């Protein structure tokens, strides 16, 4: 009798071990999954920059002025601000495949609604699926789950390389398709591309990328009780882990001034630099190339040699002097020189803060944490146009640069006195 009970126990243990092996993606191996995620992320950014080449011109055809186009952008920021943490929790609860499938499916609906938009209200309606469109945070979660802690920053930086590729290809492709075949065809092309991304997810991404520990009856009951996407307590609980709140505050405060400049750049390019659309496209391609070089070839070498705390200080210090340079720039050539340290500081800052935050929480919560990180960018897109517009109209471009200098110097001095400390969490 006891022998049989022991056999059942052994069989159960073996089954749990096989499930854990599957969940940690031994077959296919981790690197294969990570590489596929890089491809999915690059494709998603391509489709997003493709629609950036469609929406402004379609909005103009439908009678949008600058004010209403600003409302449209703010709508996206608000929707994604609310959806980011919820989507991250969904990814933690239901796994990588479900999260990426939901996001890709939402992107398909997004482009189909854009293709049939023939009324100003339809442009607002087509933005609603963006509440689920979080391929990049979901990709960051997978990479964080499957990469070794000491190599996490380097692995996350490769997603920035994907961003640069998508920016260049998407902007070029979107402009070409819109010019020769019209906005509707370009939107349908984006829908077809998103469908291809969905096929990659279903084919190559495992159900979950998290290590699953054997569950007791008590654990199962507690999990069932907390298994709610809309459980705000479970989301805000992450802020109680050591080092999370100060790191998150630094991410918001130090990132806000540079975020304002980014959301105002299209206005600055048109009115301050007097760039034509074609010239602006070349400048965006230049951004993408610099970003690819920094995130693909520089960050990995830096993280192998220096601590994350030191690199965070470096990024904030460089960002401060980038703001000062922006305050005194007079032409686009000077700005092109500033782009080099600007993209360096932005890339290092975002990668290091994301890496520090994911290491500070258990692997079971990395999706929720990446959702919270993405909500920071959504917050910047929501408040950035209002703050940036006020500063630009009343005080000029230099005011945005001076504020970036003052804020980042203040954060830099604060971190010199009280360095951030994060504890690596393990399940």
Local structure of 274: helix, strand or coil: coil
- Find, among 388, 245, 414, the residue nearest to 326 by Cα: 388
Q: What is the mean pLDDT of residues 363-369?
A: 80
pLDDT of 190 strictly over 90: yes
Residue 409 within a domain: yes
- pLDDT band of 25, cuts 50, 70, 90: very low
What residue ranges in 73-231 does DSSP mark as E strands?
A: none
164 or 110, which is more confident:
110
What pLDDT is attached to residue 384?
78
CATH code, domain carrying 59: 1.20.1250.20
Q: Which phi and psi (to 5°) does residue 261 adopt?
A: -65, -40
Residue 107 within a domain: yes
Residue 342 within a domain: yes
How many C-beta atoms surround the C-beta of residue 374 within 10 A? 23
Q: Is the separation of the CB atoms in 340 and 111 below 8 Å? A: no
- Find, among 267, 402, 285, the residue nearest to 339 by Cα: 285
- DSSP label at residue 230: T
Total number of domains in the chain: 1
What pLDDT is attached to residue 224?
46
- Find, among 347, 356, 283, 353, the residue nearest to 319 by Cα: 347
Residue 413 within a domain: yes
Q: Model-level pTM?
A: 0.75
What pLDDT is attached to residue 278?
64
What pLDDT is attached to residue 242?
84
Residue 426 within a domain: no
- pLDDT band of 19, cuts 50, 70, 90: very low
CA dist 83 → 125, 374, 387 (Å): 16, 10, 23
410 or 390, which is more confident:
410
Residue 179 within a domain: yes
Domain extent at residue 133:
27-206+233-417
Residue 228 within a domain: no
Residue 19 within a domain: no
DSSP string, 276-336: -HHHHHHHHHHHHHHHHHIIIIIHHHHHHHS-HHHHHHHHHHHHHHHHHHHHH--SHHHHH
- DSSP label at residue 63: T
């Amino acid at each position: 009798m006891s022998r049989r009970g022991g056999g059942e126990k052994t069989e159960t243990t073996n089954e749990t071990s096989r499930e854990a092996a599957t969940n940690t993606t031994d077959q296919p191996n981790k690197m294969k999954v990570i590489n596929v995620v890089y491809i999915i992320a690059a494709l998603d950014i391509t489709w997003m920059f493709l629609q950036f080449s469609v929406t402004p011109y379609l909005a103009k055809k439908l009678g949008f002025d600058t004010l209403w186009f600003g409302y449209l952008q703010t709508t996206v920021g608000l929707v994604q601000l609310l959806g980011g943490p919820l989507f991250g929790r969904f990814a933690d609860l239901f796994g990588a495949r479900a999260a990426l499938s939901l996001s890709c499916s939402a992107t398909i609906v997004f482009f189909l609604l854009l293709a049939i938009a023939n009324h100003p209200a339809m442009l607002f309606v087509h933005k609603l699926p963006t509440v689920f469109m979080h391929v990049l945070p979901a990709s960051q979660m997978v990479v964080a789950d499957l990469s070794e802690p000491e190599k996490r920053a380097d692995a996350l930086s490769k997603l920035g390389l994907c961003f640069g590729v998508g920016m260049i290809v998407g902007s070029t492709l979107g402009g070409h398709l819109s010019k020769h075949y019209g906005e509707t065809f370009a939107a349908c092309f984006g829908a077809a591309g998103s469908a291809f991304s969905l096929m990659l997810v279903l084919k190559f991404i495992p159900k979950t990328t998290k290590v699953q520990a054997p569950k007791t009856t008590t654990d199962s009951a507690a999990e069932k009780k907390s298994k709610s996407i809309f459980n705000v307590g479970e989301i805000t609980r992450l802020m109680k882990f050591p080092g999370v709140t100060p790191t998150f505050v630094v991410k918001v405060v130090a990132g806000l001034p540079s975020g304002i400049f980014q959301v105002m750049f299209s206005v600055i390019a048109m009115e301050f630099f007097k760039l034509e659309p074609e010239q602006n496209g070349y400048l965006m391609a230049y951004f993408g190339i610099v970003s690819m070089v920094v995130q693909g070839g520089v960050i990995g070498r830096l993280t192998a040699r220096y601590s994350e705390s030191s690199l965070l200080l470096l990024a904030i210090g460089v960002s401060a002097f980038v703001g000062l340079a922006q305050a005194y720039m007079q032409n686009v050539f000077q700005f092109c020189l500033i782009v080099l340290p600007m993209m360096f500081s932005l890339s290092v800052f975002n990668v290091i803060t994301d890496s520090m935050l994911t290491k500070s929480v258990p692997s079971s919560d990395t999706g929720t944490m990446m959702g919270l990180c993405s909500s920071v960018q959504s917050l910047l897109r929501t408040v950035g146009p209002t703050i940036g517009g006020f500063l630009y109209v009343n005080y000029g471009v230099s005011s945005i640069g001076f504020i970036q200098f003052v804020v980042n110097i203040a954060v830099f001095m604060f971190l010199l006195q009280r360095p951030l400390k994060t504890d690596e969490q393990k399940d």
